[in-house]
Structure 1
Amino acid sequence: MPCEQDYLRRVVLREHGSNSMPTVAPGFIMTAARAALEAGYHVVLEGILHTGQYGGPLRDLIAEHAGLSFTYWLDVSFDETVRRHRRRPEPIPVTAEDMRAWYTPLDLLGVAGEQVIDEASGFEDTVSTILHHSRLAEAAALTPCPRLCLRCAEKRSPGTAPAGGAAPENAGRAG
């Protein structure tokens, strides 16, 4: 399950990155990620997660999670950051000067196993590296629906019960 920091912070919470105001985003995002992990989802938490705001909550989330955790830092220079921003389908309206104020080189989380991916790695290579290193490329979906949902169990094999459940009596009904 993708947990996109920028979407949750800017769209859902309408927070716009000011350091002068208290922010709900770090706690909110960690709560969303934690809830998804506890429900059995694989979670990819991504974004510009400055350690000043997100470091403590991220380290706590990693420490509390009983499963495997993988962390990656995309080591991208400021100039390349600006170029990539300008190529976004819907870039947010900020100047390079605004971005320079936010840019923090090598803002590593400092946890065991953290991987640094160089800016020379293209989008497809970066995604492939993360999927294979984290073993998500081979991982079966662990979302509750395919395992527990009566409707999905009925779609898979009519008359069969989901894991840990009774035979689906109401399968196919809107719920």
Structure 2
Amino acid sequence: MSKLIILKGNSASGKTTTAKKLLLSLPKGSAMLISQDMVRREILAVDDLPNNPSLALIFEMAKYGNKNFEYVIIEGIFSTARYKQMFEELYDLFNGNVSSFYFDISFEETLKRHSGRDKSKEFGEKEMKSWWLEQDRLHFLGEITITENQDQDEVLQLIIRNTKGD
């Protein structure tokens, strides 16, 4: 049975970095990574507006992953107002075999982290503030909060332990 791993939080909170490291830490060929930014910004080139086509594509990619991989990792900001129904449908599709992680990182810390990224040339504080979603959790049973006090290795180990049921 496939397991869905959701990494959700604001821009520059560490989701993408964590997702990529998680993918590399799992057995080769056992996992698939779906990045909201990759699908929405790079594949489809659409804005994150209601009913944008990225919702359907992300859902279809997750369905494919559910049939073909042991782990499906989904990461992104994923506004709960816009994406909650999709995640509820994925929860059912994966028969509740879901681990959800919310990156609860302060705006100040995300700005600091963002300043060291290549994306800092594309957008800055003003845009990040306009996207900011305070405590925008899915509220799935067992949702785990990641804080800025946890270092990258600690976060990765927490997710791996939870994912594998250790």
1:120 CA displacement = 1.2
**Which protein is richer in helix relative to its size?**
2
TM-score, structure 2 as length reference:
0.73
C-alpha distance 101-90 of structure 1, shift in aligned 2 (>3 A): closer
- Deviating above 3 A after TM superposition, structure 1's stretches of 4 or more consecutive aligned residues are 89-92
Name the larger-Rg structure: 1
- Structure 2 counterpart of 1:168: none
C-alpha distance 81-56 of structure 1, shift in aligned 2 (>3 A): same
Q: Percent identity?
A: 24
Equivalent position SS for 1:134 = helix
User: 5+ unaligned residues in a row in structure 1: which ranges?
Assistant: 139-175
**Within 5 A, what are the aligned runs for 1:11-160?**
11-17=42-48, 19=49, 22-66=51-95, 68-91=97-120, 93-135=122-164
C-alpha distance 95-89 of structure 1, shift in aligned 2 (>3 A): closer
- How many residues align? The count is 135
User: 5+ unaligned residues in a row in structure 2: which ranges?
Assistant: 1-31
> What's the RMSD between the two structures over aligned residues?
2.0
TM-score, structure 1 as length reference:
0.70
**Which protein is richer in strand relative to its size?**
2
Task: Provide the C-alpha distance between the structure 1 equivalents of 2:51 and 2:93, rounded to a whole number of angstroms.
Answer: 25
Higher relative contact order (CA 8 A, sep 6+): 2
1:75, 1:106 within 8 Å by CA — same for their partners in 2? yes
